[in-house]
Structure 1
């Protein structure tokens, strides 16, 4: 029996979201012009950080990170029309650009992005599709980029892998940073070898 086509199957929805994002133009991080709406995005790196050489993507085919920006008030019953007017996705990309600027060993000029404004009901699923499809290293191996975790950056709080590799003046690193960096780079090498 021939399997009937189901446009709403997980795989077909995933292809649809990935395809729609990839069709978007690539631009600077952050975008130059503010825009409204929540959605998903991909960030690309083309710089010279040695550990990222194999995923450095001047042609913007392999994202270093994908993410989402949820609309405001989702748990409070804010109307979709109202949520779509907020600049949540634009603001999220600006936050990421700020994190990169704060890093001692990264240059925001080496980063580009694509973004897709998405109806709120699809955002979480879209992000899951993108992570599963691209397996970006800042999502899958080097955690801490884009985190909104309470306590991060406070004295005594364990440093994220991202902060260990990309230290910032605003965050004190905790523990044996050199040993932690070696472990993270080893895990990254293993991940990239398996990919």
Structure 2
């Protein structure tokens, strides 16, 4: 494509010189020695790279630094997680057996003083996933009763902690999802809510443990079992991983630093804010220099044009 004649005469001259050099290279007799040919090829490749960079600088159109991919696992996880939170809450003690695997959240609404900042809010105390019985499951029946079984296990653990907890003080939300999507949704829920019972927070973890074998009796008691005694296998352990006072202090600090979501509206607002972080909307030039997409000088020029409202 020829450059404009009234401008860039120097550019036209450069293009002609390059074309002549390429013609000369195509007709030149190349050296026989392989090492010399390789050296020449590498030198030419380096110059080609420089030329491509110079050409890219002529492209004034900005390029987005990222592109939103709806098929990405983390994107799917966000959608599944938000859908799970949109489900109704159910009393943990009133669930009937049902088919399906997926993700779930536990909510506390009782009087235990360590959870006073959390009780009766929309902030889950724990989130988790239940994998299907078969990795090849295509429907809820094939997935088995994994999700119900997992929630029922938690109910049984809570029932044993009679000195601190009551199962009727817990609600749950759950979502049955197609096999393979539960892990990404669980990770998003954990990162979003940072529930105090999840092991990732390192605060009051351990409800998901099923008991130590006779070979591991030397293990220390989990923080959950320390603050909620009652599971026989945990009570038989000698030492705690953390003292109850430390656990309580960490819970208070965590919930003070990250105040619980009290309404679904606040969750949606934070979700939308978090969604905006997927693609920052920044742009770059062809040479990867970051630049805003708004051209302030262009806006000012538009405002100065006759007939345009400010």
> Structure 1-normalised TM-score?
0.84
Match for residue 84 of structure 1?
142
Match for residue 207 of structure 2?
145
Q: How does 1:88-127 map to 2 (within 5 A)?
A: 88-104=146-162, 105-127=164-186
CA-to-aligned-CA distance 1:131-180 (integer Å, 9 cap, x gap):
1111111012211011246439x743311100000000523254466x71
Question: What is the alpha-carbon distance in structure 2 between the residues aligned to residue 66 and residue 173 of structure 1?
Answer: 27
Tell me if the contact between 1:55 and 1:62 (Cα under 8 Å) persists in the aligned partners. yes
SS of corresponding position for 1:120: coil
Which sections of structure 1, spanning at least 5 residues, go unmatched? none
Match for residue 112 of structure 2?
49
Q: What is the Cα deviation at residue 124 of structure 1? A: 1.1
Question: What is the alpha-carbon distance in structure 2 between the residues aligned to residue 123 and residue 129 of structure 1?
Answer: 10
Q: How does 1:1-195 map to 2 (within 5 A)?
A: 1=62, 4-9=67-72, 12-57=75-120, 59=121, 61-74=122-135, 78-81=136-139, 84-104=142-162, 105-139=164-198, 140=201, 141-148=203-210, 150-151=212-213, 155-168=217-230, 170-171=232-233, 172=235, 174-175=237-238, 180-195=243-258
Question: What is the alpha-carbon distance in structure 2 between the residues aligned to residue 157 and residue 98 of structure 1?
Answer: 22
Deviation larger for 106-115 or 4-13: 4-13
Q: What is the Cα deviation at residue 19 of structure 1? A: 1.8
CA-to-aligned-CA distance 1:23-42 (integer Å, 9 cap, x gap):
21111104422210111100
Q: Which structure exhibits the higher relative contact order, with contacts defined as CA atoms closer than 8 Å and separated by 6 or more residues?
A: 1
Question: What is the alpha-carbon distance in structure 2 between the residues aligned to residue 192 and residue 36 of structure 1?
Answer: 35
Question: What is the alpha-carbon distance in structure 1 between the residues aligned to residue 78 and residue 125 of structure 2?
Answer: 19
Q: Cα–Cα, structure 1 residues 82 and 40, in superposed 2: closer, same or farther, change >3 Å?
A: closer
CA-to-aligned-CA distance 1:103-122 (integer Å, 9 cap, x gap):
02101111000100011211
Question: What is the alpha-carbon distance in structure 2 between the residues aligned to residue 56 and residue 173 of structure 1?
Answer: 30
- Structure 1 or 2, whichever has the larger Rg, is 2
Equivalent pairs, count:
190
Question: What is the alpha-carbon distance in structure 1 between the residues aligned to residue 78 and residue 140 of structure 2?
Answer: 29
CA-to-aligned-CA distance 1:1-39 (integer Å, 9 cap, x gap):
566543235664343122211221111104422210111
Match for residue 286 of structure 2?
none
Question: What is the alpha-carbon distance in structure 2 between the residues aligned to residue 50 and residue 125 of structure 1?
Answer: 33
CA-to-aligned-CA distance 1:56-81 (integer Å, 9 cap, x gap):
12x5x10000011111143xxx4434
